[in-house]
Amino acid sequence: MEVIAGNIASPKGFYADGIHCGLKKTKVDLGWIVSEVPANAAAVFTTNQVQAAPIKVTKEKMDSGQLRGVIVNAGNANACTGEQGYRNAQQMVRAAANKLAVPSDQIAVASTGIIGRQLPMEKVAKGIAKLQKAGDPQAFQKAILTTDLTEKSIVIQSQIGGKTVTMAGCAKGSGMIHPNMATMLAFVTTDAAIPADLLQKLLKELTEVTFNQITVDGDTSTNDMVFVLANGLAGQRALQEETSDYETFKKMFQHVLTALAKAIAQDGEGATKLIEARTTGAVTNEAARMISKTIVGSPLVKTALFGKDPNWGRVLCAVGYSGQTIDPDALSISLAGINVFQSGMPITFDEAKMQEQLAKPEIEILVTLEEGTGQGVAWGCDLTYDYVKINALYHT
């Protein structure tokens, strides 16, 4: 497996484009990803009971298992917009399908941005008419951003069945991030051949250990979506479970989703640090994941690390209220590579060295239990003054 330069349209048979249509003041805000041929599709969606119109429309498209592409806008979530919002999402689909000369049931839709405002459909329709097949894939990766400071993308290749298979991913997400399939959108394209039902099963499995293990602020968005297209143009035989080719593809897929998930956590609104919490020795892997996610979701842990405060008691507290089985007297904690708590007892550490470690942009917290063999990891970010400022002034 090799990480290569590229973009969301790097796999064979894909193209993408992005333009400015007026939903934002100046930035690119509308784009699409399209496959030259029908592609097997899979998706997971937010578990928030309040779901945006594009989520409802795209869910309806997934029954066939095959789609040609997705139309996406930023700057307006088209959420909590009633029947009119639903019709607007459908209109976006029809406009994109007409431009591409494909059936409308072959196009999905996604939106991100401010909740509770109707889309200005005249601007959106004019924008869709300007999108090109031979457009700018890099512009698509910009078109999905809201408060993000960076693009989040990755392209990898590997040999599967004697063919070179390419997989690309891009995502947006910076605030309202606490996915439980945040505002989070992710798109993956691949030229691998894999049945739609197997792709859906694998996406659901890997989402649990990647996107569902990140948190920025504990809020699960109305618009979360992870959307995957696999068009088979690499030319290898369709993947089957319990084969070496399937395991290679699974490793590729997990690598892409993990990279995107970590990039979202690192680009949390106002964030200065990526926090990785790793738990070992839990009763089960799921228990370890939940402990790790509780740690990175703790406001007290997040603020302590922003202030470079080695307050490991906050980590211990989070472990204790995680709802998982623990023995505090057999628990150890390492903070930024320095042991601070061992088998239920505090350890004296070099405070100057700790300050140096906590000033780094990536901080690891390691929790070791003696309950079993379960292990899991989660990612988050620190909580800063700027997070409050960004969200206090979001509409203005």
Check if the beta carbon of residue 169 is closer than 8 Å to that of residue 271.
Answer: no
Q: Which of 166, 183, 210, 222 is catalytic?
A: 183
Q: Which residue has the tokens 């929790």?
A: 367
CA–CA separation, 345 vs 15, rounded Å? 57
| Catalytic residue check, 183 | yes
Residues pairing with 109 in the sheet: 71
Residue 45 phi, psi (nearest 5): -130, 165
Residue of 381, 4, 380 lying closest to 212 (CA atoms): 380
* Amino acid of residue 212: N
Cα–Cα distance for residue pair 102/154, rounded to 1 Å: 28
Beta bridge partners of 73: 30, 111
- Pure H helices in the chain: 53-61, 82-100, 121-130, 137-143, 196-209, 244-266, 285-297, 299-306, 312-320, 351-358, 385-392
292 and 378 Cβ atoms separated by less than 8 Å: yes
Q: Do the beta carbons of residue 230 and residue 68 sit within 8 Å?
A: no
- Alpha-carbon span 252 to 248, nearest angstrom: 6
Given a contact cutoff of 8 angstroms between Cβ atoms, the answer to whether 73 and 29 are in contact is yes
Integer Cα distance of 297 and 312 in angstroms: 15
DSSP characters for 72-112?
EEEEE---S-HHHHHHHHHHHHHHHHHHHTS-GGGEEEEEE
Between β-strands 185-190 and 225-230, what pairing exists: parallel, antiparallel or unpaired? parallel
Task: Report how far residue 312's alpha carbon sits from residue 247's, in angstroms, rounded to the nearest whole number.
Answer: 38
Active site residues: 183
